[in-house]
């Protein structure tokens, strides 16, 4: 366990035992100023100091670590989260090129887009977005969250459906795109509404960052569901994805060795 979580846990356990800081230091032969700085998260104590403090609180350190969700985290989890973060960055960059192509096709701009270029970009979006979302599935596994796990899987399913619809429209130019585009907007809006609530539930683990990201993602979902405000939703979507990258990197930072 690292700071500031360690200091918060010591403070919580000391109060649960009904001890003042002075009473605690009397049990473990550590000066009051050191305890104050540890509880405030200002310093990281040595391992023998930590064991002395927990022994004074009648807590086995090994038992505490066993109850800590991060202690049982798979060694592969940091790698998965880092892969998801990098994939999210690549997806975010590709999304601008995708938006440019789709806008050009919908407005008949004089831009040259070959079938293989369009297909390659769409398939790349599918792959990198899916890896990005699976990072949040991993987060839901580490910090048990029964909203973010299904929401991330729904997002993967949603991107598969939307990419398939985009490719269908591209290769069938005579098809009226409005019904499919509206359905895509409602589908992703509904998924983001659930996803945003799942993020909001991380407020204890990630604080205001998770609250802010969750609210912005839920607003994005509502804008897409409305269909008529979907263009505004694209702006919020860009902001949402930046916040999601920040949350995902914070998760990686918490579990990395």
Q: Which CATH number fits domain 5-66: 1.10.260.40, 1.10.760.10, 3.30.70.380, 3.60.20.10?
A: 1.10.260.40
Q: Are 190 and 228 in contact (CB under 8 A)?
A: no
Burial class (CB in 10 A: 0-12, 13-18, 19+), 29: exposed
Q: How confident is the model at residue 73 (pLDDT cuts 50, 70, 90)?
A: low
Question: How far lies 86's CA from each of 124, 132, 135, 185, in Å?
Answer: 14, 8, 10, 26
Supply the pTM of this predicted model: 0.72
Q: How confident is the model at residue 37 (pLDDT cuts 50, 70, 90)?
A: confident
What's the pLDDT at 70?
A: 53
E strand intervals along the chain = none
CA dihedral 11, 212, 88, 256 (to 10 degrees): 0
Q: Which residues contact 145 (CB under 8 A, 6 or more apart)?
A: 139, 198, 201, 202
Pick the closest to residue 197 from 126, 149, 143 (CA basis): 149
pLDDT digits (tens, 9 = 90+) for 137-196: 999 988 888 899 999 999 999 999 999 999 998 898 888 888 988 999 999 999 999 999
What's the pLDDT at 256?
A: 78
What's the pLDDT at 44?
A: 76
């Amino acid at each position: 366990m690292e700071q500031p979580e360690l200091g918060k846990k010591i403070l919580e356990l000391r109060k649960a035992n009904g001890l003042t800081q002075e009473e605690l230091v009397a049990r473990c032969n550590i000066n009051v100023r050191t305890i104050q700085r540890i509880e405030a998260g200002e310093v990281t104590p040595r391992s023998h100091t930590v064991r002395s403090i927990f022994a004074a609180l009648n807590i086995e350190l090994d038992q505490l670590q066993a109850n800590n969700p991060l202690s049982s985290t798979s060694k592969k989890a940091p790698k998965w989260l880092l892969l998801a973060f990098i994939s999210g960055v690549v997806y975010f960059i590709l999304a601008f090129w995708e938006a440019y192509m789709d806008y050009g096709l919908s407005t008949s701009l004089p831009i040259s887009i070959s079938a293989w270029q369009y297909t390659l970009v769409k398939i790349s979006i599918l792959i990198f977005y899916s890896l990005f979302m699976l990072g949040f599935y991993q987060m839901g596994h580490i910090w048990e969250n029964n909203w973010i796990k299904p929401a991330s899987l729904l997002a993967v399913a949603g991107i598969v459906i939307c990419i398939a619809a985009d490719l269908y429209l591209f290769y069938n130019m005579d098809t009226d795109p409005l019904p499919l585009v509206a359905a895509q907007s409602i589908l992703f809006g509904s998924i983001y509404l659930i996803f945003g609530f799942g993020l909001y539930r991380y407020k204890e683990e990630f604080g205001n960052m998770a609250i802010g990201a969750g609210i912005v993602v839920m607003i994005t979902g509502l804008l897409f569901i409305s269909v008529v405000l979907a263009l505004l939703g694209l702006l919020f979507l860009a902001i949402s994805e930046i916040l999601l990258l920040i949350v995902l990197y914070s998760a990686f930072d918490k579990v990395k060795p």
